[in-house]
Amino acid sequence: MVDQAHQLRELVWKSKNTARVFAVTSGKGGVGKTNTSVNLAIALAARGQKVVLLDADLGLANVEVLMGLTSMYNIEHVIEGERKLSEILVQGPGGIKVVPGSSGFAQVADLSMAGRERILAGLHEVEQSVDFIIIDTMAGIGKNAVSFTTAADEVILVTTPEPSAIVDAYAMLKTIYANREDAVLRLLVNMVASEAQGKAVAAKLANVSQQYLDRNLSVLGYLPRDIHVSQAVMQSSPFTLKYPNAPATQGVHRLAARLLSQQVNSTSQRQGFIKRFAKTLGIASNG
């Protein structure tokens, strides 16, 4: 066991970043975070990218619900050593692959070192073979959400024009920067009545970010409030596939194109997701 742990640490700390890793997060629930994760993953796959979607929204497994999937194994089986992470990957719609979530992830901060190393080894293996890993985190500022947002190459913070969602988005923004000063963060305003409303929300958050955190807030874009989204949810189908011409679908495809055209911060990416995630799990370098 000691030799295996040593080999894993050597592998992790000598590895180079390959996949581009996004954490999709929010200050509160109900803002469309998981829907964004699912449909953005599909939109990226439609552009020829190899995409894995990791459901880290603990205990809810909403990623599978939105896609009408039922898996036999999930991340808890990896933690317990019953399966490798590559063995629990599920083929999802639109050409993406899914790592099913579980309530087992709720104790990630309290996992045994063996459990942590199994997760890390699995993510390292998956990262080598794909272009994007999209992580659907828990809403809010809990330890698990912070672990993934701290480790990810880039963070997409989802909010809506609702006043409480804006307040909670700022709290999440503050938490992310407190835990990682060089975080690459982009704001997505969901369920907007118009682009003007989206811009107003983004401007409000950008102003408080600049005033109180001394940070410039990058805006990824806006998604419209669209009845097709709720209709697709009721049918357990991603709206990008169920309603390809819907306004929300067109908006997600624009976001995917924008992400592919944007370059990440080279200094931030140089260390890599796996190395940063190893640190959050308390797995230190050997030298």
Number of residues that make up the chain: 287
Q: At what angle do helices 143-151 and 163-179 cross, to 10 degrees?
A: 60
What is the reported pLDDT for 232? 96
Contacts 24+ apart (CB under 8 A), 73-76: 73/100, 74/100, 74/101, 74/102, 74/104, 75/99, 75/100, 75/101, 75/102, 75/104, 75/105, 75/119, 76/102, 76/103, 76/104, 76/105
In 129-267, where do the E strands start and end?
132-136, 154-159, 185-192, 218-224
Find all residues with CB under 8 Å of 128, minimum gap 6, and list them: 18, 19
Contact 123, 85 (CB under 8 A): yes
Find all residues with CB under 8 Å of 230, minimum gap 6, and list them: none
Q: Which CATH number fits domain 2-280: 3.40.50.2020, 3.40.50.300, 3.10.129.10, 3.30.360.10?
A: 3.40.50.300
What is the reported pLDDT for 165? 96
What is the reported pLDDT for 270? 45
Question: What is the chain's pLDDT, residue by residue, as a tens digit (287 residues)?
Answer: 455 555 556 655 555 657 899 999 998 889 999 999 999 999 999 999 999 999 886 656 688 888 988 888 888 888 888 999 889 999 999 999 999 887 655 555 556 777 778 888 888 888 888 999 999 988 776 676 788 888 899 999 999 999 999 999 999 999 999 989 889 999 999 999 999 999 999 999 999 999 999 999 999 999 999 999 999 999 999 999 999 999 999 999 999 999 999 865 554 454 588 888 888 777 765 54
The DSSP-derived string for 47-80 is TT--EEEEE-STTT-HHHHHHT---S--HHHHHT
What is the reported pLDDT for 287? 45
The closest alpha carbon to 108, from 147, 61, 62, belongs to: 147
Q: Which amino acid is at 201?
A: V
What is the reported pLDDT for 125? 86
Can you tell me the distance from the alpha carbon of 211 to that of 222, in angstroms, rounded to the nearest whole number?
23
3-class SS of residue 220:
strand
3-class SS of residue 92:
coil
What distance, in Å, lies between the first and last C-alpha atoms of the chain? 19
Q: How far is CA 55 from CA 87, 91, 246, in A?
A: 15, 14, 25
Strands 185-192 and 97-99: what pairing?
A: unpaired
Both structure tokens of 230: 């709720």
Q: What are phi and psi of 165, to 5 degrees?
A: -70, -35
Find all residues with CB under 8 Å of 285, minimum gap 6, and list them: 9, 13
Both structure tokens of 114: 């063996």
Other Cβ atoms less than 10 A from the Cβ of 277: the count is 24
What is the reported pLDDT for 72? 87
